[in-house]
Amino acid sequence: MSLETITATPPKTWDTTTTTPPPLAPEPTPQPAPTGKRGWLGWLIAALIIGGIAWAKVKYFPSNAGGDKKGGGKGSAGKGAPGSNGPLTPVQVYVVAATNLTDQVAATGSVLAEESVIIKSELSGKITSLNIKEGQSVSKGQLLFSINADEAQAAIQKQQYNIKLYRDQEKRQRTLLDKEYISAQEYEQSNNALLTAQADLQALRATLAKAYVRAPFAGVLGLTTATVGTYVSPGAEITTLSKVRPVKIDFAVPGRFAANVRVNDVVDVVDESTNKTYKAKVYAIDPQIDPVSRTQPVRARFANTNNELRPGAFVRVNLKLGESESALQVPTEAVIPEASGYNVYTVKGGKMVPQKVKIGIRSDKVIQITKGIAVGDTIIRTGILQVKPGDAVKVIK
């Protein structure tokens, strides 16, 4: 047995010390700049865009470098700061002067007829006559319409016969009583029957009178829908009657002015439809202030000779409470309300100085100043939001 020599093949090994790098990508070949007509057009468009941006910045966003230089350079106070040398803030002013001021109360009111009533029927039946001319004047006691009264007239005639019978009975009973053939009680029963019949006759005549409706006072008739032959029930409305010469002006003033209103005070009444002003005189003041609205009801009277005001119209009422010839007033926009009161901005030494004031009567255009300013003071009325205390201002007209 022979032994074979086995020669083992050594394992393969890899040399990692040396690695062949991958080939590099070729560098891009630079492209030549565009030439020709297309290239110049692109440069022209870019130049126009840059120029437009520069023009817009100069036009709408100017540099404040000059202002910084005038104000002392970087770190100095800006525009309008106290003690700065920046541009002056332009403002418009009002010079205070003594003026005439009428203290008055404005209120709204309504026009009422001097007397007004709705004409109604008190009976049921058919209308037999109608003398209503719509919109026409009538005198007191004039017949307006009548209702069929045949039944009432028949009842009156029947009662008259009964009264004649009771009167004869009463006469006979009196004769018997004088001769003491009957007692006083029997006579009293007969006399009572007569008196009752006479009272019933008066009631029937009152009912008959209700069938003929007459004007309770002189006035102007309203519209109606009734015609002859219309059947009406008690309470049916036939027309209206109003006395419009004179008319009443009904209005109310705030309760705090109640003590200033007097009977015979003259008030200005402005008609809302024509904007004309009329003079009316206070003739009545309610003794109580309305607890809901806290206002004082007042009534005035206007002659209304030419029917200038119609009942039901809305009017504005101005009641004068007093007049001053030395009142100080400033434009409404010059007064600045604050939590602690009111301020105005004055100009003193070319600078803005705030001043606290107290106000009085005010309207939509001016406000009375009762304390804080004097005649000749200069009050800023425009540019108020652009200034601060101590800012230098420039007064413009």
Q: Which helix (H) or strand (E) holds 68?
A: helix 65-70
Cβ contact 348:387 at 8 Å: no
Report pLDDT for 180: 87
Q: Which of 98, 102, 99, 100 is nearest to 323 (CA)?
A: 102
Can you tell me which residue has the tokens 């109640």?
Answer: 258
Asked if omega into 21 is within 30° of 0 (cis), the reply is no
**Residue 330 backbone dihedrals phi, psi, to 5 degrees:** -130, 160
Write the pLDDT tens digit of every residue in 253-277. 999 889 889 999 999 999 998 999 9
Which residues in the chain come in under a pLDDT of 70?
1-39, 58-86, 397
Q: Is 43 helix (H, G, I), strand (E, B) or coil?
A: helix
Q: CA 271 → CA 214, 245, 248, 282, distances in Å?
A: 34, 17, 13, 17
Q: Is 234 helix (H, G, I), strand (E, B) or coil?
A: coil
0.75 surpassed by pTM:
no
**Residue 332 backbone dihedrals phi, psi, to 5 degrees:** -60, -35
Report pLDDT for 54: 78
Report pLDDT for 104: 84
What letter would DSSP give residue 101? E
> Position 116: which residue type?
S
Residue 255 CA to residue 277 CA, distance in Å, equals: 25
Report pLDDT for 46: 82
Q: Which of 330, 250, 333 is nearest to 290 (CA)?
A: 250
Report pLDDT for 70: 41
* Edge-first strand listing for the sheet containing 212-214: 212-214, 143-147, 125-130, 231-232
Residue 198 CA to residue 193 CA, distance in Å, equals: 9
Q: Is 262 helix (H, G, I), strand (E, B) or coil?
A: coil
- Both tokens of residue 255? 């309760």
